[in-house]
Amino acid sequence: MSEVDVRGFRAESLDHRNQRNQRLFQLMFGLMTVVLIVPVVIIISLLVVRGGPALSWEFFTAYPAANMTAGGIFPALVGTLWLVAVALAVSLPLGVAAAIYLSEYAPDNLLTRLINLAIINLAGVPSIVHALFGLGAFVLFFEFGTSILAASLTLAIMTLPVVIVSTRETLQAVPQSFRVACWSLGATRWQTIRKVVLPNSLSGILTGIILEVSRTVGETAPIMFTGAVFFLPFLPQGVMDQTMAMSLHLYNVATQVTGVPESLPYGVALSLIGMVILLNSVSIAFRIHLRRIKKW
């Protein structure tokens, strides 16, 4: 009689041990994941509880008043939109173009590897260094002065690696067989990119935009020296104007001004996060739509 007949597939001690380990690790990974989301939940609920009462229609539409201790955030809100829009307008075409070159054209040689290394390093540069670079390059050397243009260019350079890397990855996720099929039908590289590679990469490029917007909205240091100011009683009229910004405004009401009611900084922080979520939800919605129609 074989062993199976005798035991009838019953668990042995080794099986019991394997089962125990399996349950243990599943539990551990689950716990780690829960731990991860705890801070997010705490931050958001704290902001909602403490900052919620400060929010009102007036809060979003009024100028700060009484030396920043009252009133709203309207000019900061508008200023951040300016900064994000101009930064995106610069970094998106530049970043996508660079990613296309690196993914579709660049030969695998020393220069390409150096460029890749530079991009990774650029991503690792602290934002205060970007700020000083922006001050030296855009404000002083190019004589843009402290302006939306200088601040947005600084933000654009800071976020370029994000756009490049996420776009390059999404381009490389397009199956090689599509490219070969295209080339074998007599398409040039550019025709292949335009007709097949790019249309199938849009959702990944949108991911890059999401990451960039989140970062651009939140950064404070790079815009402090280059274009954002403490208070302005009017809205910027063009890219050469200075502006208020949400992130800097939060920093100011939280640390630089005395006599601020407690709910005000929380309200600003809540609005800042809300703004990121709102801006991103546009691209997320678009991305969901793209995923639905993309099938291969």
Q: Which residues bind another protein (CB under 8 A)?
A: 107-108, 177-178, 180-188, 191, 195-196, 199-200, 294-296
Decide: 219 and 127 in contact? Cβ < 8 Å: yes
Rounded to whole angstroms, how far apart are CA atoms 228 and 238? Answer: 14
Query: From residue 156, how far is each of 13, 90, 123, 203, 273 by CA, in Å?
Result: 60, 6, 12, 21, 20
Q: Which residue number, 32 or 293, has a Cβ lying nearer to another protein?
A: 293
CB of 287 to another protein, least distance (A): 17
Q: How far is the CB of 185 from another protein (least distance, A)?
A: 4
Closer to another protein at the Cβ: 115 or 232?
Answer: 115
- Among candidates 126, 51, 76, which has minimal Cα distance to 249? 76
| Shortest distance in whole angstroms from residue 93 CB to another protein | 25
Q: Which is nearer to another protein, 128 or 173 (CB)?
A: 173
- Shortest gap between Cβ of 58 and another protein (angstroms)? 50
Nearer to another protein, 206 or 276 (CB): 206
Which residues in 92-124 are b (16+ Cβ under 10 Å) and which e?
A: beebbebbbebbbeeeeeeeeeeeeeebeebee
* Nearer to another protein (CB atom), residue 29 or residue 105: 105
Element (H, E) at 122: helix 110-124
We find the least distance from the C-beta atom of residue 114 to another protein, in angstroms, to be: 18
Determine how β-strand 64-65 pairs with β-strand 70-71.
antiparallel
Instruction: Tell which residue, 246, 207, 173, has the closest CA to residue 92.
Output: 207
